[in-house]
Amino acid sequence: MTYKILAKRNLAHKMTMFEVDAPEIAAKAKPGQFLIVIARTGSERIPLTICDFDAQKGTVTFAFHEVGKSTKELATFAEGDVLLNVTGPLGNPSEIGCFGRVLCVGGGIMVAPLLLQVKAMKAAGNEVTTVLGCRSGEFLFMKKEAMALSDEVLVASDDGTAGETGMDFLRDLLACKMFDRCVVMGPVLMMRSVCEITRPFNIPTVVTLTPIMIDGMGMCGVCRVTVNGKMLFGCVDGPEFDGHQTNFDELVKRQRTMLPEERLSSIMWESGGGCKCERK
């Protein structure tokens, strides 16, 4: 297995998409599942959601946002480079069915994998409204793809430079239109606010949780989350959970447990002091 990067695409500032040669994974992948990407010997195991797969071509696609050392380093890989390992597909596939009218809300980099769900939901016969969330207009990407896949596309940005300002407009949308299901993928705080908006309307809301992970296969327990009062593992019980039952406060705290170390690592990388001896 080589895990060669066949295509690299820049989605927006610090947001990159890779299409990687991985025929066995491509043959088994389903929407909602994720990969663990290991760039080189000594790298972290980075969990990234599958954005697309092509069993015929034998490729899988994933997208990532440069937030820390590992993702910054990954972004330095070019077309033709080979990754040490890609493990997957991991986690449970999304529940795809004919629900009726589905609202798919994406935020930041997670818009890319959300579109795979949009595609699957549409193919299952749903009427799909897609919301593309971004920090500001310059971070908006894949709008064309979204329009081709969905019945309706709405845009929202944190600062109002593209489309609606924030996600509050969803309240008005839900008040005048009935939805049978809501799928949310994005930063934790955004997923939490969308869940608070859908809760009074009793719309089943599925969120993709991104706790810190290491093995991604149920061995370490670092990905534990509390859903409906129960301790569950993000990697084997998820990554999708009922957003109305998720303890987001705990998730936010657990995501931040290694913050000082992550900062150190990132600063060292930026300043060129990180270990690059074996790069690639």
Partner 1 sequence: MPKRRPEERVKNFDEVALGYTEEMAVEEARRCLQCKNPQCRKGCPVEVPIPQFIDCIVKGNYAEGIATIKSKNALPAVCGRVCPQEEQCQKMCIKGKKGDPISIGRLERYLADWEGRNGGQVPERVPSTGKKVAVIGAGPGGLTAAADLVKMGHDVTLFEALHVAGGVLSYGIPEFRLPKDIVKREVEYVQSLGVDLRLGNLIGRIHNIPELFAMGYDAMFICSGAGLPQWTGCPGENLGGIYSANEFLIRVNLMKAYSFPTEDTPIRIGKHVVVIGGGNVAIDCARISMRLGATVCLNYRRSRNELPARREEIENAEEEGLMCKFLSAPVEFYGDERGWVRSMRCTCMELTEPDESGRQSVQPIACSDFEIPADTVIIAIGQTPNPIIQRTTEGLRTNPRNGTIVVDADGRTNLEGVYAGGDVSTGAATVISAMGAGKRAARSIHEYLMNGTARGDGSFTGK
Ligand X SMILES: Cc1cc2nc3c(=O)[nH]c(=O)nc-3n(C[C@H](O)[C@H](O)[C@H](O)COP(=O)(O)OP(=O)(O)OC[C@H]3O[C@@H](n4cnc5c(N)ncnc54)[C@H](O)[C@@H]3O)c2cc1C
Interface residues toward partner 1, by CB under 8 A: 1, 24-25, 28, 33, 36, 38, 42-45, 69-70, 84-90, 214-215, 217-222, 224, 226, 231, 236, 250, 253-254, 256-258, 260-262, 264-265, 268, 274-275
Rounded Cα distance, 249 and 225, in Å: 10
Question: Quick check: 129 binds ligand X (CB under 6 A)?
Answer: no
Structure tokens at 214: 């290491």
Please name the residue that has the structure tokens 């690592």. Answer: 265
Which residue lies nearer to ligand FES by CB, 74 or 223?
223
Task: Annotate each residue in 228-267 with x if it binds ligand X (CB under 6 A) or - if it does not, as one string.
Answer: -----------x---------------xx--x--x--xx-
Under 8 Å between Cβ of 255 and 188: yes
Task: Tell me the window of 46-54, 79-87, 93-101, 118-126 that interacts with ligand X (CB under 6 A).
Answer: 46-54
Q: How many residues bind ligand X (CB under 6 A)?
A: 28
Query: Please, which residue, 49 or 157, has the CB nearer to ligand FES?
Result: 49
Q: Using CB under 6 A, which of 155, 212, 220, 232 touches ligand X?
A: 212
Query: In this structure, what are the phi and psi dihedrals at residue 98, rounded to the nearest 5 degrees?
Result: -90, 95
Residue 132 and residue 106 in contact, taking contact as beta carbons nearer than 8 Å: yes
Q: Which is nearer to ligand X, 110 or 121 (CB)?
A: 110
Kindly tell me which of 4 and 45 has the beta carbon lying closer to ligand X.
Answer: 45
Count of chain residues binding ligand FES (CB under 6 A):
13
* Residues contacting 175, CB < 8 A, separation 6+: none
152-157/164-165 β-pairing: parallel
Q: Compute the C-alpha angle 114/252/246, nearest 5°.
A: 65
Choice between 86 and 109, CB closer to ligand X: 109
For 184-219, letters b (16+ CB in 10 Å) and e give bbbbbebbbbbbebbeeeebebbbbbbbbbebbeee
**Contacts (Cβ under 8 Å, ≥6 apart) of 56:** none
The least CB distance from residue 251 to ligand FES, in Å, is 13
- Find, among 30, 40, 38, the residue nearest to 89 by Cα: 30
Residue 28 touches which of ligand FES, partner 1, ligand X, none (CB < 5 to 8 A by kind)?
Answer: partner 1
Which residues, 211 to 250, sit near ligand FES by CB under 6 A?
A: 213-216, 218-223, 233-235
Shortest Å distance, C-beta 225 to ligand X? 10
Binding residues for ligand FES, per CB under 6 A? 213-216, 218-223, 233-235
